[in-house]
Structures are given as C-alpha cells and as structure tokens.
C-alpha cells in the first residue's frame, strides 16, 4: 500500500514515515557516516552522477560528489572580491614575467651592457 513520508528539504538525512495508527517513525541513513544533505544537494549530486555515468543509487558515490561540491563552495566563499582580483592580477603578472624571472634569476648587473636601455635619473 501507500505510505506517507515526510521530510525537511533542508535535511533529507532524516525522514518520518507515518504508520497505520497515525504515529510517525523516524528513519535515517543506513550509513551514519554520511553527512546530512539538503534536497537540492541530493538532486545536484544525482545529476552529476548521471553525467559522469556513475550509478546514482550508490550512496557513497553521492556522498563523495556532495563532499566535493561543498569543498568547492567553501573555497569560493572564502575568497573575497578583492582577494580574487589580487590573485588574478598576480596570475597575469606571473604569466608575463615568468620567462624573464626563471632565466635571469639574481645576478650582478653589468653596467657596461648597452643592450639594456638606460633611464635618466634625477638627482636632487
């Protein structure tokens, strides 16, 4: 027959099943090591599992996909807008100067070398 199942979409790790006499019984994950999951996270993990060709019924695969997504979210949440901009600038600078910095390194400058442009110096 039909069974009434109630759940909170913010945490589907715990559901309540209505019995014939009107009482509710709490049901949890079979594997209690899996963290609580929202309905949205569960649906995204199922979508990603299908896209990767993995079996969506395996709760350990879903838990790993959810853990990976949470890690990505935590890393992006930790970066402020200014910090992201700074990283982008540093990445751009590293990309343009990486060949020069790795080949030259630290060495004494030959002032007699005329291949390098000389800049005017203002003395006060």
pLDDT, tens digit, 9 for 90 and up, residues 56-105: 568 888 888 999 999 988 887 777 777 878 888 887 666 555 455 555 56
Tell me if 114 is assigned to some domain. no
> Which tops the pLDDT comparison, 122 or 61?
61
Tell me if 101 is assigned to some domain. no
Domain count within the chain: 1
Tell me if 91 is assigned to some domain. yes
Q: State the residue range of the domain holding 64.
A: 4-95
Per-residue b/e over 84-106, b at no fewer than 16 CB within 10 Å? eeeeeeeeeeeeeeeeeeeeeee
Tell me if 109 is assigned to some domain. no
> Is the pLDDT at 9 greater than 60, yes or no?
yes
Tell me if 118 is assigned to some domain. no
Q: Percent of the chain scored above 70 by pLDDT?
A: 71
The whole-number average pLDDT for the span 3-18 is 91
> Is the pLDDT at 25 greater than 90, yes or no?
yes
Tell me if 107 is assigned to some domain. no
């Amino acid at each position: 027959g039909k069974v009434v199942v109630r759940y909170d979409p913010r945490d589907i790790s715990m559901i309540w099943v209505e019995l014939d006499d009107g009482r509710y019984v709490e049901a949890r994950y079979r594997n209690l090591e899996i963290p609580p999951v929202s309905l949205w996270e569960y649906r995204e993990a199922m979508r990603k599992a299908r896209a990767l060709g993995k079996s969506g019924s395996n709760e350990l695969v879903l838990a790993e996909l959810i853990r990976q997504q949470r890690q990505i979210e935590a890393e992006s949440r930790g970066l402020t807008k200014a910090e992201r901009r700074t990283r982008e600038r540093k990445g751009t600078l590293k990309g343009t100067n990486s060949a020069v910095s790795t080949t030259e390194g630290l060495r004494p400058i030959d002032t007699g070398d005329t291949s390098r442009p000389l800049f005017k110096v203002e003395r006060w």
